[in-house]
């Protein structure tokens, strides 16, 4: 039995919509609307979806960078959402995050050394000499050269800056790392380097990743299990083979079909082209939120009844009326 590192139960994150002179709450954006999932120790869990699907909000809610509205996030036996600030700070050593744009997540007025030193100063009693030694150790680990220790982020290339972000995330030996679009702002040739590094580190240090991306190629390359999100909910979840080789949910099918692939010479005419665009999460459609765009719409049930995430086969779960609960 593989150990579960993080378990998410019925997680909801709603943002209020305020309007008028008194800034009264007039509605809610249901960014994350009842998500259940568990991530196992040592796996790469891929979370895919289009912009506005709530994947980034879900990741931030898990590590409490935004406060969820309700639900539970159990990390190694403790509910992260219940602990006080002090305990949270101590726990944060174990879960870290790497963001999409390295230049926006590095302080331009700090040197690489100080960027890596910050978590050490906040969480440990290390001396300045020890900090320098640890910084160099981490830089070598992520493939940076020693002389880059005193560089500022503006002096680094995109790939190097992202390596600094990875080094900073690893300073305190976390067990769980959230990677939020880690290679999306990088050029193709550099993206491959960073992915190789992330994969190597995961193996070497036994890390668990939550990999969020819209790049299905990256997820298919790296992830063990995958969840597909649409309008704040998980519509399909399973191991990567189930989801990528034999997608069950119509949205997953359309998403996979929409990606122009260099290895794939399927003519465009055979692709599934969805109508319209993702509706606003402030005013989601009734029933199955995907029904207005669905190419497999089967009738009123889709419009009226909210489908549940039911087990399909193997480890897979799908939320669609095409697959009624057994």
Token readout for 248 is: 């069950």
Q: Which residues contact 285 (CB under 8 A, 6 or more apart)?
A: 279, 291, 292, 303
3 state SS of 34? strand
- Closer by beta carbon to another protein, 54 or else 68: 54
* Contacts (CB under 8 A) with another protein, residues 71-130: none
122: left (phi over 0), alpha (psi -120 to 50) or beta: alpha
* Rounded Cα distance, 55 and 88, in Å: 22
State in angstroms the smallest separation of the CB of 231 from another protein: 13
* Contacts (CB under 8 A) with another protein, residues 202-231: 214-218, 220-222
188 binds another protein (CB under 8 A): yes
Question: How close are the terminal C-alpha atoms of the chain, in Å?
Answer: 26
228: which strand partners? Answer: 48, 236
274 binds another protein (CB under 8 A): yes
State in angstroms the smallest separation of the CB of 71 from another protein: 27
- Closer by beta carbon to another protein, 293 or else 321: 293
- Closer by beta carbon to another protein, 11 or else 98: 98
Contact 88, 73 (CB under 8 A): no
DSSP string, 303-317: HHSPPP-EE-STT-E
313 binds another protein (CB under 8 A): no
Tell me which of 15, 152, 244, 323 binds another protein, using CB under 8 A: 244
- Count of residues that interact with another protein, criterion CB under 8 A: 40
According to DSSP, residue 69 is labeled S
Burial of 97 (0-12, 13-18, 19+ CB in 10 A): buried
187 binds another protein (CB under 8 A): yes
- Closer by beta carbon to another protein, 6 or else 256: 256
- Closer by beta carbon to another protein, 259 or else 298: 259
Q: Which residues bind another protein (CB under 8 A)?
A: 50-51, 157, 159, 187-193, 195-196, 214-218, 220-222, 240, 244, 254-255, 257-263, 265, 268, 271, 273-274, 276-278
């Amino acid at each position: 039995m593989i150990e579960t590192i993080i378990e998410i139960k019925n997680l909801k994150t709603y943002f209020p919509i305020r309007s008028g002179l008194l800034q009264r709450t007039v509605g809610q954006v249901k960014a994350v609307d009842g998500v259940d999932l568990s991530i196992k120790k040592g796996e790469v869990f891929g979370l895919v979806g289009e912009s506005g699907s709530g994947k980034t909000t879900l990741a931030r809610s898990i590590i409490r960078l935004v406060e969820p509205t309700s639900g539970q996030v159990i990390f190694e036996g403790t509910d992260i959402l219940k602990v006080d600030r002090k305990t949270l700070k101590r726990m944060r050593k174990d879960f870290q995050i790497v963001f999409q744009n390295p230049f926006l997540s590095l302080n331009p007025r700090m040197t690489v050394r100080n960027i890596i030193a910050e978590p050490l100063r906040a969480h440990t009693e290390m001396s300045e000499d020890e900090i320098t030694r640890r910084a160099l150790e981490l830089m070598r680990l992520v493939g940076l050269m020693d002389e880059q220790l005193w560089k500022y982020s503006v002096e680094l290339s995109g790939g190097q800056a992202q390596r600094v972000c990875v080094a900073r995330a690893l300073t305190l030996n976390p067990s769980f790392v959230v990677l939020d679009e880690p290679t999306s702002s990088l050029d193709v040739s550099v993206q491959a380097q960073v992915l190789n590094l992330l994969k190597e580190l995961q193996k070497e240090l036994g890390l668990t990743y939550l990999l969020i991306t819209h790049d299905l190629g990256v997820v298919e390359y790296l992830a063990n299990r995958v969840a597909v999100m649409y309008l704040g909910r998980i519509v399909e979840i399973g191991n990567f083979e189930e989801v990528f080789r034999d997608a069950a949910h119509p949205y997953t099918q359309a998403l996979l079909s929409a990606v122009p692939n260099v290895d794939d010479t399927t003519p465009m005419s055979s692709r599934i082209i969805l109508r319209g665009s993702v509706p606003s999460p402030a005013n989601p459609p009734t029933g199955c939120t995907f029904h207005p765009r669905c190419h497999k719409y089967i009738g009123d049930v889709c419009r009226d009844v909210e489908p549940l995430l039911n087990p399909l086969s193997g480890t897979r779960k799908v939320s669609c009326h095409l697959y009624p609960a057994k």
